[in-house]
Amino acid sequence: MKKITNWIFYPPIVGQSSILIIRFMAGGVFFGEGLLKFVYINQETKHSLIAGFPFSDISVYVFASMELIGGVLLILGLLTRVVTLCLIVQMIVLILCARMTLYIDMNSLPILAAPKTSIWIFFYEFRSDYAQLLCCLFLMVEGPGRRSLDFKLFTTYKIYTMKRV
C-alpha cells in the first residue's frame, strides 16, 4: 500500500519541460468544460437525469467542480497524479453512463449535431473525451514535469541535480 501511495503522491518531476504543453491543454479543456457545465446547468442536469445519475442536481455540481478545480491544478502542476486519477475515474463514469445514453436517446443531442444515426453519435461525442482521457493517462505516467508546482514545492536543488546525473 505504501508503494501505491508513494507512486500517487510523489510522481516523477524531472521529466521534460514540454510536459507543460500537455498540462496546459488538458487543464484548459477541463477548466472550460467545468465552466460550461455551470453556465448550462439546466442542460447538464437534463443529461444527468437521462444518464440515470442519482441526485442529478448535485452530481452536476460535483462533476463541474471537479473539472474546474482539476483543470486549474493541472495547469499549475500541483498534485498532478491525484488530480489525474480523479479525472480519469470521472471520465470513465461519464463515458459509460452519459455518452452511452446518447446512443440510446438521440433527442438529448443539440439540434446541429453532425451524425444522426446509430453508433456514430457515440463516436462523435466520444472523441474529445478520448483525447482528455489519454492526456490524463500520459500525465499520470510521466508526472507534471520540471515546470510545475510539484517540482518547486517537493524538490530541492540537491535532489534534482542528483537525479539528473
150 contacts 83 by C-beta, under 8 angstroms? no
Q: Is the pTM of this model over 0.85?
A: no
Asked if residue 12 is part of any domain, the answer here is: no
pLDDT of 165 strictly over 70: no
- The answer as to whether 140 is a domain residue is yes
In the block, cell 537525479 appears at 163
Asked if 138 contacts 67 with a C-beta cutoff of 8 angstroms, the reply is no
Give a yes or no: residue 88 inside a domain. yes
Position 6 in a domain: no
DSSP character at residue 107: G
The answer to whether position 5 is within a domain reads: no
| Alpha helix stretches (DSSP H) within 54-142 | 56-76, 80-94, 100-104, 120-142
**113: containing domain:** 17-164
Q: Tens digits of per-residue pLDDT, 66-123?
A: 999 999 999 999 999 999 999 999 988 887 776 666 555 555 555 555 555 556 666 7
Count of structural domains, the chain: 1
How far, in whole angstroms, is CA 119 from its chain's centroid?
Answer: 24
Q: How many CB atoms lie within 10 A of CB 125?
A: 18
